[in-house]
Amino acid sequence: MRAKHALLGAAAALALAPAAFAERGSDGQVNIIYWQGPSTMNPYLSGGIKELEAASLSLEPLARYDPDGNMVPFLAETVPTLENGGVSEDLKSVTWKIKPGLLWSDGTPVTSADVRFTWQYCTAEGGGCSQSEKYNDVADVETPDELTAIVRFSVPKPYPYGPFVGNQAPILQAAQFADCLGPKAPGCTSANFMPVGTGPFIVTDFRPNDVIALKANEHYRDPEKPAFSTVNFKGGGDAMAAGRSVLETGEYDFAWNLQLAPEVLDQMAAAGKGEVEVAFGTLVERIMVNFTDPDPKWGERRATADHPHPFLTDKAVRQALSMAIDRDLLTEIGYGQAGRTTCNVLAAPEIYASEANEGCLVQDIEGAKALLDQAGWVPGPDGVRQKDGMRLSMLFQSSTNAVRQDFQALIKQWWSEIGVESELRNVDASVFFGGDPGSPDTFQKFYADVEMYANSFDGTDPEAYMANWECKQAPRPETQWQGNNMPRYCNAAYDALVAEMAKTGKMDERIALAKKMNDILMQDYVILPLVHRGRVSARATSLGGFVMNAWDSELWNAADWYRVK
């Protein structure tokens, strides 16, 4: 997989090459369609992904993530790290240096005051900033000189790249938004719709949820870019129509987020007008194993640590369940090129992906049977294995969704082949994921033996994600059934690793810790990962320079796009 990425990088580099000879604005218009139209260009007022992506054409952070999940400096000269001294030893401050000579699209210089202002803007009282989480624990942003901004945290931040990094936290121009702090934020319609930016394009006409017209930013830092003079950013419709407009009719150059059945996409792509672009983020479809007994006889305390599960606490059973699954088949049926098999719950970024668990890629029914035999689970008269009168019979729940129900049926079949009986159940997604503590059907209550859904984490840093399986994160009545540790996994060694990561700043050490935690979860069969799911978009063959990115805006490198002649 590493080789594949290297190739992709090389291809991207090749693709970029011709653009370097182009002249700004020489390639006419590029047409982009988002079937959900952006409602504002200010990412701080709407947390929606569509708004973040649209805004990324104009607004830029100090650093973005590249397709491999590595940080690359955008407005900053370099990415500060412990190693280069940009991050202080106590992990409480980060020093960013802005590239000299940067101009806003109105011709004024970009300064550290803008960086500081952005922090103030998002944390102002009454503004309802949707990205305020990114600025958590920021005590101050100091501006010792025009081009230096020092972010001071109130607590040590081993991973200090929340503020001003990635498409959720771009820099706003202080001059434009000065009067838009706090409750006044929504009133600044023209600023919110037509922000002054540093990106390759700036808005000339913004029609919420419909169309954004943009033109090349005359003050963009690379005088030869962007190659396109205008952008027509259309919103509305549905994924099918958006895909059609790129792949079949060729009216558009790029269509975002095509969640369509694999065969539908393949059929559209067969028209030859464009290509399907896939990038893999952190989304993994997985089966969670319940370590506690959901039996209704336990009343209030069912599915809590008070009552361990009668047979899923046996590692042999969990392992056999995993071995019986044909992950290749699931991926092909459910997601086609938008999915790939994985044996890790932490499947990306690449640097974090463990290679210690690849064994799960091959289905092994016979091995699973042998394992259960060994563990004393022998087939009963009805073919269902049992031991001491305990039958391997389970309730398997998931959210209502065509692909998930297909998966459930297939898995049920494989499990029955190894002598494990399962009853299938599906719950409406709004209830299942709704988190209502009064409902018995939520994924947190987990009143079943196994459950299947997908989850991901934001950004590239897995610290918070891996902390999900800390013992104390188990949902239970005391926490109003909130918490992310669905399996109710409780392992002191694991918890110690979580604590260690929270105070480790060195990148390679963090990577090692995250992999170790992933391996514990995998080798203990707490979570059975199934498919690593990607983002799918479509690009016209004539759009050059495009590089799909799952870690930042898909339009992250629009400055490098050009028309293939």
Partner 1 sequence: MFTYTIRRLLIAIPTLLVISLIIFLVVTLAPSDPTANLPLSIPSEVRAQMREALGLNEPILVRYLLWLRQFFLYEPLHMLDQAFGLSLAGEDMQRILSWQTRSPVADLIVQRLPQTLWVVGTSYVVGVLIALPIGIASAYRQYSWFDQIGTFVSMVGFSVPTFFTGVLLIVIFSVHLGWFPSIYDTTLRVTDLSTFWLQIKQMIMPVAVLALYNAAQISRFMRASMLDNLNQDYVRTARAKGMTERVVVLLHVLRNSMIPVVTVIALGVPTVFGGAIITEQVFKVNGIGQLLIIAIQGGDVPTVQTLTFIFAVLIVLFNLIADVLYGLLDPRIRYD
Give yes or no for residue 549 binding partner 1 (CB under 8 A): no
Among 23, 89, 133, 423, binds partner 1 (CB under 8 A): 133
Structure tokens at 268: 């559209």
Give yes or no for residue 497 binding partner 1 (CB under 8 A): no
Q: Which residue has the tokens 């989850």?
A: 455
CA angle (24 as vertex; 20, 26 as ends), nearest 5: 100
Give yes or no for residue 505 binding partner 1 (CB under 8 A): no
Give yes or no for residue 189 binding partner 1 (CB under 8 A): yes
Give yes or no for residue 8 binding partner 1 (CB under 8 A): no
Stretch touching partner 1 by CB under 8 A, among 43-51, 344-352, 374-382, 516-524: 43-51
Give CA–CA dist 274/290, Å, rounded: 44
Give yes or no for residue 237 binding partner 1 (CB under 8 A): yes
Buried b (16+ CB within 10 A) or exposed e, 71-88: bebbbbeebbbbeeebbb
Give yes or no for residue 207 binding partner 1 (CB under 8 A): yes
- List the one residue out of 546, 462, 544, 525 whose CA is nearest residue 321: 525
Give yes or no for residue 33 binding partner 1 (CB under 8 A): yes
DSSP, residue by residue, 383-399: S-EEETTEE-EEEEEEE
Q: Are 32 and 533 in contact (CB under 8 A)?
A: no
For the beta carbon of residue 251, count every other beta carbon within 10 angstroms: 13
The least distance separating partner 1 from the CB of residue 284, rounded to whole angstroms, comes to 14
Give yes or no for residue 236 binding partner 1 (CB under 8 A): yes
Give yes or no for residue 193 binding partner 1 (CB under 8 A): yes
Q: How far is CA 463 from CA 82, 133, 346, 469, in A?
A: 17, 15, 11, 11
Give CA–CA dist 281/348, Å, rounded: 6
Among 28, 100, 144, 186, binds partner 1 (CB under 8 A): 186
Structure tokens at 24: 């700004």
The least distance separating partner 1 from the CB of residue 539, rounded to whole angstroms, comes to 17
Q: Are 407 and 415 in contact (CB under 8 A)?
A: no
Residue span 452-481 as binding mask against partner 1, x where in contact by CB under 8 A, dash where not: -----xx-----------------------
Give yes or no for residue 437 binding partner 1 (CB under 8 A): no
Give yes or no for residue 37 binding partner 1 (CB under 8 A): yes
The least distance separating partner 1 from the CB of residue 310, rounded to whole angstroms, comes to 32
Q: Which is nearer to partner 1, 371 or 538 (CB)?
A: 538
Among 89, 205, 306, 423, binds partner 1 (CB under 8 A): 205
Give CA–CA dist 493/470, Å, rounded: 10
- List the one residue out of 420, 303, 408 whose CA is nearest residue 371: 420
Give yes or no for residue 367 binding partner 1 (CB under 8 A): no
DSSP state, 247?
H
Report the interhelical angle of 365-374 vs 315-323 (nearest 10°).
Answer: 170
Q: Which is nearer to partner 1, 232 or 313 (CB)?
A: 232
Stretch touching partner 1 by CB under 8 A, among 71-79, 249-257, 284-292, 437-445: 249-257
Among 128, 272, 376, 477, binds partner 1 (CB under 8 A): 128
Q: Which residue has the tokens 């830092």?
A: 221
Q: Are 87 and 160 in contact (CB under 8 A)?
A: yes
- List the one residue out of 447, 428, 433 whose CA is nearest residue 488: 447
Residue span 267-286 as binding mask against partner 1, x where in contact by CB under 8 A, dash where not: ----x---------------
Give CA–CA dist 459/422, Å, rounded: 36
Give yes or no for residue 187 binding partner 1 (CB under 8 A): yes
Stretch touching partner 1 by CB under 8 A, among 92-100, 103-111, 186-194, 360-368: 186-194
Give yes or no for residue 222 binding partner 1 (CB under 8 A): no
Binding residue count for partner 1, defined by CB under 8 A: 48
Give yes or no for residue 92 binding partner 1 (CB under 8 A): no
Binding site residues, partner 1, CB under 8 A: 33, 37, 39-40, 42, 45-49, 126-133, 183, 185-187, 189, 192-193, 205, 207-211, 213, 232, 234-238, 241, 244-245, 248-249, 251-252, 271, 457-458
